[in-house]
Structure 1
Amino acid sequence: MIKLISIAAIADNNAIGKNNDLVWHLPDDFKRFKALTSGHYIILGRKTFESFPKPLPHRTHVIITRQNDYKAENHLVVNSLNEAIAAIPKNEEKAFIIGGGEIYKQAMSRVDELEITHVNTTVEGDAFFPEIDLKLWKVANEEFHPKDERHQFSFTYKTYLRR
């Protein structure tokens, strides 16, 4: 059985983006995202895919869109979260949900783990991560990262496991 993991950086108000872009630049969070997701399938919405300057290397993209004629060369294109999950080979041990807000919301009841970077700020956003209900999730690991010359905000990596 494939372990499904949602991975996101979220503000104190659960904002994850605005105008189809990230709302901060956190180099260490990017490194962690790359380390965790490289070599795996990533499930994402079309708008999130289109927000990248180029596809993310060393990952197989499964793009969810309602557009029946959408083409993304060398990537899997599906019309629903169920199709995205079904498209992942059974021998894969895990796959990552990487956004956007609507895909996170649809996946919340299906994921086994959350890899969340809690960014210590409130920002204006138009895309949000769903509320994390601590009755359903427990923190298995956390690591604080202070604000520094390369990071505008302090943040905490937290791994949540379903109770």
Structure 2
Amino acid sequence: MNLSIIVAMDKNQLIGNRNKMPWYLPADLSYFKKITSKHSIVMGRKTFESIGKPLENRRNIVLTRNTDYSIDGCEIMHSIDEILNTFANSSKEVFIIGGAEIYKSFLPYVNRLYITQIDHEFEGDTFFPKIDWNKWKETSKKNAIKDTDKPYTYSYHIYERTT
């Protein structure tokens, strides 16, 4: 199984504010689309509801405890084990796209992290879980082109699990 997390965060590992991203970076959204297109994406119910629709060219999987939950264009799964079993024999990369509790739950199982690091501090209420960086090695870093109307810079990092 090739399980990855993709996330954007600020200097303090902030990822959200009131179920929304505290920033708007069109180039990062394009990067997210490029990386995740033609792959399966796994998100929690709140993340799906903040997006508001299935993302095109992806297999959309929503994780929820609610057994009556149904969304056109999405598969509903009810446990981490169900997702892990579904993709156990898959060679294709599967992306965990949020939110915070979903990231925390899947962090022990992922082998790659795609992190957009924003060089700014935002206000918010949702943070990425703590990472033991001794278990990860950075394999790629690329500075992003600054969006013309945003006063902060950001960079794309890829980390591979080492242990």
The TM tier, using the shorter chain, reads: over 0.9
> What residue is the counterpart of 2:31 in the other structure?
32
> What residue is the counterpart of 1:154 in the other structure?
153
CA distance in 2, matches of 1:89, 1:35: 24
For normalisation by structure 2, the TM-score amounts to 0.92
- The aligned amino acid for 1:154 is T
Aligned: 1:45 with 2:44: yes
Q: Is the 8 A contact 1:146 1:153 kept in 2?
A: no
**RMSD (CA atoms):** 1.5
For the residue of structure 2 that corresponds to 1:96, the secondary structure is: strand
Which range is displaced more, 85-94 or 2-11? 85-94
Percentage of pairs with the same residue: 38
Q: Is the 8 A contact 1:9 1:116 kept in 2?
A: yes
> What residue is the counterpart of 1:145 in the other structure?
144
> Within 5 Å, which residues of 2 pair with 1:115-130?
115-130=114-129
For the residue of structure 2 that corresponds to 1:98, the secondary structure is: strand
1:148 positional shift? 4.3
CA distance in 2, matches of 1:148, 1:63: 31
- The aligned amino acid for 1:80 is S
1:145 positional shift? 2.4
Q: Which string of whole-angstrom CA distances, capped at 9 and with x for unpartnered residues, describes residues 52-71 of structure 1?
A: 13211000111111112111
Aligned: 1:55 with 2:26: no
CA distance in 1, matches of 2:131, 2:151: 24
- The aligned amino acid for 1:49 is F
User: In structure 2, do the counterparts of structure 1 residues 13 and 95 end up closer, same or farther at CA, with 3 Å as the change threshold?
Assistant: same
1:151 positional shift? 3.4
For normalisation by structure 1, the TM-score amounts to 0.92
> What residue is the counterpart of 1:11 in the other structure?
10
For the residue of structure 1 that corresponds to 2:115, the secondary structure is: strand
> What residue is the counterpart of 2:76 in the other structure?
77
Q: Is the 8 A contact 2:27 2:147 kept in 1?
A: no
Q: Which string of whole-angstrom CA distances, capped at 9 and with x for unpartnered residues, describes residues 29-59 of structure 1?
A: 1111001100000010000001113211000
User: In structure 2, do the counterparts of structure 1 residues 162 and 89 end up closer, same or farther at CA, with 3 Å as the change threshold?
Assistant: closer
Q: Is the 8 A contact 1:26 1:150 kept in 2?
A: no
For the residue of structure 1 that corresponds to 2:142, the secondary structure is: strand
For the residue of structure 1 that corresponds to 2:133, the secondary structure is: coil
User: In structure 2, do the counterparts of structure 1 residues 92 and 61 end up closer, same or farther at CA, with 3 Å as the change threshold?
Assistant: farther
> What residue is the counterpart of 1:101 in the other structure?
100
